[in-house]
Amino acid sequence: MTRFRRAVTDAVFFHATSIRKKLQASYTVIILLMLILPVTTIASSLLQSARYDRMIASVSKTNRLNQVVKTKISNELWDVVAGNKKFEDGNQYEIIEEINDGLADIMATTEVKGNRQLLEVAGRAVKTLTSYVDRLGDQMRDRYPVVENEAILDEIRGVAALISDILQDFIVLEIESAERTNEHIKTTVWVLAVLQIFTVVCVTAFSVFAQRSVSQSINRPIAVLERLSTRIASGDLSARAETPHVKELDNLTENLNIMAEKITELIEANVREQRNLQKSELKALQAQITPHFLYNTLDTIIWLAEGHQYDQVIDVTRSFSDFFRISLSKGKEWITVAEEIAHVESYLKIQKIRYRDILDYSIQCEPTMLDRPMLKLLLQPLVENALYHGIKSKRGRGVLAVRGWRERGTFCFSVTDNGIGITEDRLAEIRAKIDGQDDPETLNDVYGLYNVSKRLQLYYSDEARLEIESEYRAGTVVTLRMPEAAGGV
């Protein structure tokens, strides 16, 4: 049953595809799974926050309008009745217009049907208030007794008190709606958290499945080749085979005869192949640096956008684009010193925004070096190491300096920080790990330094070296030295 299920899954997802297409399909599914939930979370958060903000704004506007209703209209008309000003000179109609405009503004942002009905009742009460004001104006013009004018004023005060009570009830209902919205937001956060965990589990399970499927696709043809090579290797290497005069086998036979004669060349070729394999492994190790920086930078862009810091969003995004453009470099291993410096500067610009309270940096490089070639992605791992293991581990502001200079036909680069530094025992341990032959998977704490050191050895041989000097609680200096003329862009 398990074999049948695996066969069906392979047929549905990986049927008649190359290894390259299998990997592309796997990455596409993983990326989609990882993107769907964050996008949903962001959209939901924005919608809920906007709704909550509207409710709070309505409460604030209603409270201010309530103060106008309770005091302003009554005081204005009292001055008229008391004879302090003429009815025609009073601002009572402007105040009523202000009340109507306020009710209309609040109505435009109110979504709950019951709350809107309450505002409509307040609007009708304002119309009643207006009719009483009109009546008071008529009485004032007809010179009614003060007693009758005060009676109308009492009616106006009563209507104003009614409108105030309605507005107060509206405030209470809006606060209750805001509380329900807040509870809904909390529930949504928990649901999204559970979905995030579920998504991670699904992505992990799918990744394991994809890895096994691709591994089987590679191992099966390799096993066939291994059996064939074993039969050849079991024979006498001094023996020769005659050409079978079969078109498909002639070249193979000739190649087998040549292979038997040139075993030394094959060994050397194998050594070169192993070196290439090490380079590939180091590229994979190098790629492990990128994901956490990607996630952190995207998080930075999100909280800058949420804070309406749009200029910084543009700066971070532009630096992010430059960073990956130079990282990819159209597949080239060699870039100019100027591009390497620009790559580090893009990285530090992003980190400066994230750690503006603890990070200052400077970059200096001799101009005569800028157009010369060098192996790419050597400085950024050192800068990242200085930031995360040096500056972030100390209290207070840290300073990170990158410098490039020439010295007796050699390119020299240094990354200096005034971070926490390294104890003597720990420094000796780091140097031993970098110079050793340990499995990279066991070097999580120094894999950036290890990666740079090994790439220097592979591409520059023994002519290049990585030097680390540090004093605990004072800082660290990491220096690269490499031949000036090695490589090419």
Mean pLDDT per 10-residue segment, the chain (489 residues): 44 46 68 72 73 75 79 80 79 83 81 77 83 83 81 82 82 77 77 78 76 60 49 57 47 57 58 54 50 71 76 78 74 86 90 84 92 88 88 86 90 92 90 73 72 82 86 91 69
Tell me, what's the pLDDT at 70? Answer: 77
Tell me, what's the pLDDT at 11? Answer: 43
Dihedral sign computed on CA atoms, order 372, 375, 380, 385: negative
Tell me, what's the pLDDT at 246? Answer: 43
d(CA 307, CA 356): 16
d(CA 129, CA 160): 7
Burial zone of 319 (CB within 10 Å; 0-12 exposed, 13-18 middle, 19+ buried): buried
Q: Which of 487, 489, 482 is nearest to 406 (CA)?
A: 482
Q: Which of 301, 321, 476 is nearest to 383 (CA)?
A: 476
Q: Which of 176, 90, 179 is nearest to 141 (CA)?
A: 90
Task: Write down how long the chain is.
Answer: 489
Q: Which pair of tokens denotes residue 331?
A: 């597949």
d(CA 44, CA 57): 20
List, as one string, the DSSP characters of 268-328. Answer: HHHHHHHHHHHHHHHHHHHHTTHHHHHHHHHHHHHHHHHTT-HHHHHHHHHHHHHHHHHHH
Using DSSP's 3-state secondary structure scheme, residue 57 falls into helix
**Core vs surface per residue 128-162: b (16+ CB within 10 A) or e:** ebbebbeebbebbeeeeeeeebeebbebbbebbeb
**Is the domain defined by 1-236 classed in CATH 1.20.120.1730?**
yes
d(CA 414, CA 475): 13
d(CA 407, CA 371): 17
Residues 6+ apart with CB under 8 A from 106: 58, 61, 62, 65, 119, 170
d(CA 172, CA 112): 13
Using DSSP's 3-state secondary structure scheme, residue 487 falls into coil
The answer to whether 428 and 360 have CB atoms below 8 angstroms apart is no
Q: Which of 69, 60, 67, 120 is nearest to 99 (CA)?
A: 69
Tell me, what's the pLDDT at 451? Answer: 80
Which CATH fold topology does 288-483 show?
Answer: Heat Shock Protein 90 (3.30.565)
Q: Which pair of tokens denotes residue 364?
A: 């200096």
Using DSSP's 3-state secondary structure scheme, residue 86 falls into coil
Name residue, tokens 């004032």. 140
The answer to whether 388 and 420 have CB atoms below 8 angstroms apart is no
d(CA 318, CA 188): 33
Distance from chain centroid for Cα 94: 52
Q: Is the pTM of this model over 0.85?
A: no
Q: From the DSSP assignment, how many helices (H) and strands (E) are in the chain?
A: 14, 7
The answer to whether 430 and 422 have CB atoms below 8 angstroms apart is yes
The answer to whether 301 and 317 have CB atoms below 8 angstroms apart is yes
- Between the CA of residue 399 and those of 296, 348, 409, 418, 466, what are the distances in Å? 21, 12, 29, 6, 21
d(CA 147, CA 151): 6
